[in-house]
């Protein structure tokens, strides 16, 4: 019984170390940031397309004068 308690105690201590470990936190943050950016792109897709088109039209019209 004492051996069983020691094993449980060791596993709980190890679980505590895993919960405090933040080595993978940056990967999770990057994935969440990418998800937010993709969601914003999908929400404002038509506005972004019209903005990019107008920018390229202005670039082509201004470059013809050079």
Q: What is the mean pLDDT of the chain?
A: 83
CA separation for the pair 2, 10 (Å, rounded): 12
Residue 9: pLDDT band by 50, 70, 90 thresholds?
A: confident
pTM value surpassing 0.85: no
- Whether the per-residue pLDDT at 25 is higher than 70: the answer is no
- Whether the per-residue pLDDT at 5 is higher than 80: the answer is no
CA separation for the pair 23, 17 (Å, rounded): 12
CA separation for the pair 3, 1 (Å, rounded): 5
């Amino acid at each position: 019984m004492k051996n069983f308690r020691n094993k449980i105690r060791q596993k709980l201590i190890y679980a505590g170390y895993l919960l405090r470990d933040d080595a993978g936190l940056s990967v999770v943050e990057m994935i969440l940031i990418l998800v937010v950016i993709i969601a914003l792109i999908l929400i404002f897709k038509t506005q972004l397309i019209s903005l990019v088109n107008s920018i390229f039209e202005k670039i082509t019209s201004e470059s013809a004068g050079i």
